Chain A
């Protein structure tokens, strides 16, 4: 990742459902090497905002732009420059963890896969079907899948869901280490995770 810097910028993001305004005119930008937290009550539009930032959903108004600032170029279609996961991103139940990983990537090196599995304490479980995983293991796999391709922008929706105390500790140290070289955007209501973030906004 060294030497390459990405920038993600939100301008005037507004989301409406019918006449309900969920959020209005949000402006912020962040670059690789920093982290950003989005907090707020349930239904305040955190997940929607993250989906918009990840390019999965279009906002009612405003725009999100991605740029490779080391080359000074805007990137139009950047789906593979973004790692996204959330509670609705479900791996295939009938496949093993490793098969899910190969499906999501296809080109991640074996060493990277091994180190991610080790980091999230899933080594030894990679040949089990996801059907037999506990919800905490599934959540750890979600984060592996999001970061698998080493994307410069990592967008995580409630990454601590279903994790026990040790799982949360692993997650925090992992996020701490990747935010040195990536732009990390979190939606969370966990105080300890919020502390990791340099900046943030509160919705609702």
Chain B
């Protein structure tokens, strides 16, 4: 299966990405070795967006899969959203370290920072909703609907609002994250690192989903016993 290939590739890609990031890629002219944080920050941010997208898509699939041919899609969406949350937090931490080094302060409400905070708030709200629905048989449907709503409104916040509002927030379009001055070795390293982190995400999601299946099986055995 494809997932196994992806997981296996993690064992090669991740060490490779780390070695390339620290040893092979040249340091940037102005920032020096600090710039190497890009090989971790960008992939983390990318994976968090990917994980949130996957959770939204799984939720939509859950709502349309009335006959439950694919089991526990809502819980798998929840797993993906929690991974996305963890990666987004790491992206915020690496990002603010980088901001301290380049702009001189950890936090300065750059549009990208604003948007990640809103994304975090949205998913914190989702986790509160899930916990409010514990034991309710509508949990899956309502949680999934919220994830879909969240996924649909994200583009408004991340892309549309700053663009319509370009007079206020011109930096979004020419963001510091998107500096085009990368040489080929840097670009290569970044690409490998993105693949490595994506395979890490697939690995964790796969593990969580297997753990979920085991927990469900145990629950059934327990109920069958009484």
Interface class of chain B by DSSP = helix
Q: Are A19 and B224 in contact (CB under 8 A)?
A: yes
Number of B interface residues in the complex (CB < 8 A): 4
Interface membership of B138, Cβ < 8 A: no
Q: In the complex, what residues of A have CB within 8 A of residue B223's CB?
A: 18-19
A136-157 vs B, CB cutoff 8 Å, 1 = contact: the mask equals: 0000000000000000000000
Interface membership of B69, Cβ < 8 A: no
Q: Are B224 and A58 in contact (CB under 8 A)?
A: no
A3-20 vs B, CB cutoff 8 Å, 1 = contact: the mask equals: 000000000000000110
Interface class of chain A by DSSP = loop
Q: Are A58 and B66 in contact (CB under 8 A)?
A: yes
Shortest C-beta distance, A164 to chain B (Å), equals: 36
Interface membership of B29, Cβ < 8 A: no
Q: Which residue of B lies closest to A18 (CB)?
A: B223
Q: Are B66 and A19 in contact (CB under 8 A)?
A: no
Interface residue ranges of A145-198 to B (CB < 8 Å): none
B18-39 vs A, CB cutoff 8 Å, 1 = contact: the mask equals: 0000000000000000000000
Q: In the complex, what residues of B have CB within 8 A of residue A18's CB?
A: 220, 223
| Contacts between chains A and B (CB distance < 8 A), count | 6
Kindly state the separation between the CA atoms of A58 and B220 in the bound complex, as whole angstroms: 23
Q: In the complex, what residues of B have CB within 8 A of residue A19's CB?
A: 220, 223-224
Kindly state the separation between the CA atoms of A58 and B68 in the bound complex, as whole angstroms: 13
Q: In the complex, what residues of A have CB within 8 A of residue B224's CB?
A: 19
Kindly state the separation between the CA atoms of A70 and B224 in the bound complex, as whole angstroms: 48
Q: Which residue of A lies closest to B137 (CB)?
A: A17
B42-85 vs A, CB cutoff 8 Å, 1 = contact: the mask equals: 00000000000000000000000010000000000000000000
Shortest C-beta distance, A160 to chain B (Å), equals: 29
Kindly state the separation between the CA atoms of A19 and B220 in the bound complex, as whole angstroms: 7
Shortest C-beta distance, A51 to chain B (Å), equals: 14
Q: Which residue of A lies closest to B223 (CB)?
A: A19
B182-226 vs A, CB cutoff 8 Å, 1 = contact: the mask equals: 000000000000000000000000000000000000001001100
Kindly state the separation between the CA atoms of A18 and B220 in the bound complex, as whole angstroms: 8
Interface residue ranges of A1-52 to B (CB < 8 Å): 18-19
Q: In the complex, what residues of A have CB within 8 A of residue B66's CB?
A: 58
Q: Which residue of B lies closest to A58 (CB)?
A: B66
Interface residue ranges of A51-71 to B (CB < 8 Å): 58
Q: Which residue of A lies closest to B220 (CB)?
A: A19
Shortest C-beta distance, A59 to chain B (Å), equals: 12
Q: Which residue of B lies closest to A17 (CB)?
A: B137
Kindly state the separation between the CA atoms of A58 and B223 in the bound complex, as whole angstroms: 24
Kindly state the separation between the CA atoms of A19 and B66 in the bound complex, as whole angstroms: 18
Shortest C-beta distance, A61 to chain B (Å), equals: 10
Kindly state the separation between the CA atoms of A58 and B66 in the bound complex, as whole angstroms: 10
Shortest C-beta distance, B223 to chain A (Å), equals: 6
Q: In the complex, what residues of B have CB within 8 A of residue A58's CB?
A: 66
Shortest C-beta distance, B122 to chain A (Å), equals: 31
Shortest C-beta distance, A45 to chain B (Å), equals: 16
3 nearest A-B residue pairs (beta carbon): A19-B223, A19-B224, A19-B220
Residues of A that sit less than 8 Å from B by CB: 18-19, 58
Residues of B that sit less than 8 Å from A by CB: 66, 220, 223-224
6 sampled A-B residue pairs with Cβ under 8 A: A18-B220, A18-B223, A19-B220, A19-B223, A19-B224, A58-B66
